[in-house]
Chains A and B, each alone.
Chain A
Amino acid sequence: MALNNITLGQYYPADSVVHRMDPRVKILLLVAIIVAVFLAGNLLAFAPIILFLVIVTKLSKVPVRMMVKGLKPLRLILILTFILNLFFLQGETVLLDLGFAQIKRESLILAVHYSLRLILLVLFSSLLTLTTPPITLTDGLERLLSPLRVIHFPAHEMAMMMSIALRFIPTLMEEADKIMKAQTARGADFESGNLIARAKAMVPLLVPLFVSAFRRAGDLAMAMEARCYHGGEGRTRLRVLKCERRDYIACAVVALLIAAVVLTGKLY
């Protein structure tokens, strides 16, 4: 289980109003919020968005620590964005003269603006994945994409593939861990050596992993066929997605949020 710290579809189980929301609504609202983040014309316009984020996070019962963890892989991009914008944007009012470069008021504001935008995008997206189990998420996506069937987009097949992939990530991870241990027990070394030596050391791990993945895929296909699976046509579902009052309320709140963002942008 040493590999288990790789979080993917990092669902945080809890019982909250955000968790119970319809995944379709959550996905659509995320898109709306992203639009709102881009609509924010100045720093003040971020205030209602941040307030909204704080309230939703509170409602979702997801610990702040888990939210911030989502930013970690992006810290390099964040820092780069900030620094590049800070030094290379044009401006007039010099705030600080470092000799080799100047920090100007306008560029500082823009650097903060762009970084904030990025942070908010990531935080809202992780809020979606933290409060929605991966399978529910793919369910929601399938329903949202199903109108595209008219142009022969395989919405059901896509969603099924995603569900299967997500379902098997932990299984394969466990398998990889086991094989890694078995080879370590035979003296294999996965950690030291240069890049080429390390890539070579992966062969005893990857070959058995692929063999088992193919075997699993074969078994799964057989099992699905044995239960008369024949694609999405006419398939009913166990959990029917239904919009409820909380979903409509959420939509209204986000609509108000967008209005507030646009207004503060205009007024300032």
Chain B
Amino acid sequence: MQVTLEQVTHTYQEGSPFQAVAIRDVSLTIREGEFLALIGHTGCGKSTLAQHINGLLKPTSGRVLLDGQDIHQKGFDKREVRRKVGLVFQYPEHQLFEETVAKDVGFGPKNLGLSDAEIKERVAEALRKVGLDEPGFTEKSPFELSGGQMRRVAMAGVLAMRPQILVLDEPAAGLDPQSREDMLQLISGLHQQGSTVVMISHSMDDVARFATRAVVMEHGTIAMEGTPQEIFRQAERLEQMGLDVPSVCKLGMKLREMGLNCPEDIFREEQALPALLALWKEGKCHGA
């Protein structure tokens, strides 16, 4: 299953004095099984792009295709898209509303018209996935949970729809370091179990760690696209755009500035150690 955006342009409040083009002429295919990272400045159109993937926003011009079918054509059931593409908004805990965790997580499946037994099964499954399956948890009020737990419950609410593509808008924003790590591990786990993941992120370290492909957006268009390796090799260009690079890249750049022979294409933590060891050995040789 794949989603393709074909020359999608979206203008907010078209025709009013406040009209603003959020994305312009964006073409992008989300391939099955990939972990795609969307990177860019605040206001570059990432969130607008994300909302096109499941048909929440209709392109002003251009098409969004789900397995080759235009999702905005007449007669196409939008619920189909919503079921297949799960969208987790920024601060999803702000959308909790039910009396109990079970009811809130079950909201999506209920809207799909499933039976009570099936809903219960899906709720249990979704809560297990997000690591909140201790007994009695389902009967708690979502408003008495901690921030990290609330976020995971909200995410379970999307997972209970069993989406094949999961779109996440800054899932780790505003969490403490432990909850943040838990959340990232959770997403990475879902990807390894076969979900296609699209993640908007400001943390280049996270992108370097998890993404299989990255798209950099600037002023509503795609500025760069490729594997994290291809993207982070152009660290200068990212910095020109006012974006960050992974800490390992920064370290590499510093070392090269000092005249050391550090390779250019390291950007992950686990790549740093061998590279540094090699440098250290080299240094010892020179020293000797």
Contact = CB atoms under 8 A, between A and B. Distances in A.
Q: Which of B87, B98, B108, B111 has the most CB of A within 10 A?
A: B111
Nearest to A201: B111
Given A185-B86, A185-B87, A204-B107, A211 B143 contact: yes
Given A181-B51, A203-B97, A207-B97, A188 B111 contact: yes
Query: Chain A contact residues: over half helix, strand or loop, or mixed?
Result: helix
Interface residues of B, number: 27
A62 to B, nearest CB: 12
B94 A187 contact: no
Nearest to B143: A211
Contacts of B241: none
B107 A182 contact: no
Contacts, number: 62
Interface string B8-52: 000011001010000000000000000000000000000000010
B63 interface: no
B95 A208 contact: yes
Given A1-B13, A181-B56, A186 B158 contact: yes
Contacts of A175: 94
A122 B107 CA distance: 45
Given A181-B56, A181-B89, A208-B95, A186 B13 contact: no
Contacts of A179: 94-95
A60 to B, nearest CB: 15
Interface string B90-117: 0010111110000000011001100000
A208 B142 CA distance: 11
A16 interface: no
A188 B281 CA distance: 61
A218 to B, nearest CB: 14
Interface in B69-97: 79, 82-83, 86-87, 89, 92, 94-97
Contacts of A204: 95, 97-98, 107
Contacts of A183: 95, 107
B210 to A, nearest CB: 22
A211 B99 CA distance: 13
B89 A178 contact: yes
B161 interface: yes
A182 B89 contact: yes
Interface string A146-183: 00000000000000000000000000000100110111
A69 B269 CA distance: 60
B107 A188 contact: yes
A83 to B, nearest CB: 34
B95 A182 contact: yes
A175 B95 CA distance: 10
A236 interface: no
Contacts of A181: 51, 56, 89
Nearest to A63: B17
Contacts of A186: 82, 107-108, 111, 157-158, 161
A219 interface: no
A184 interface: yes
B221 interface: no
B201 interface: no
Q: Which of A4, A179, A184, A186 has the most CB of B within 10 A?
A: A186
B4 interface: no
B54 interface: yes
Given A178-B89, A204-B107, A211-B143, A184 B94 contact: no
A211 B97 CA distance: 9
A49 B30 CA distance: 63
Contacts of B108: 186-187
B83 to A, nearest CB: 7
B89 A187 contact: no
20 contacts: A179-B95, A181-B89, A182-B89, A182-B92, A185-B56, A185-B158, A186-B158, A187-B79, A187-B107, A187-B108, A187-B111, A189-B111, A203-B97, A204-B97, A204-B98, A204-B107, A207-B97, A207-B98, A208-B94, A211-B97
Given A181-B89, A187-B107, A207-B98, 17 more contacts: A1-B12, A1-B13, A181-B56, A183-B95, A184-B56, A184-B82, A186-B108, A186-B157, A186-B161, A187-B79, A187-B82, A187-B83, A187-B108, A187-B111, A187-B112, A208-B94, A208-B95
Interface of B: 12-13, 16, 18, 51, 54, 56, 79, 82-83, 86-87, 89, 92, 94-98, 107-108, 111-112, 143, 157-158, 161
Interface of A: 1, 4-5, 175, 178-179, 181-189, 203-204, 207-208, 211-212
Of all A-B residue pairs in the complex, the 10 with the closest CB atoms, nearest first, are: A187-B111, A207-B97, A186-B108, A182-B95, A185-B87, A182-B89, A204-B97, A208-B97, A181-B56, A208-B95
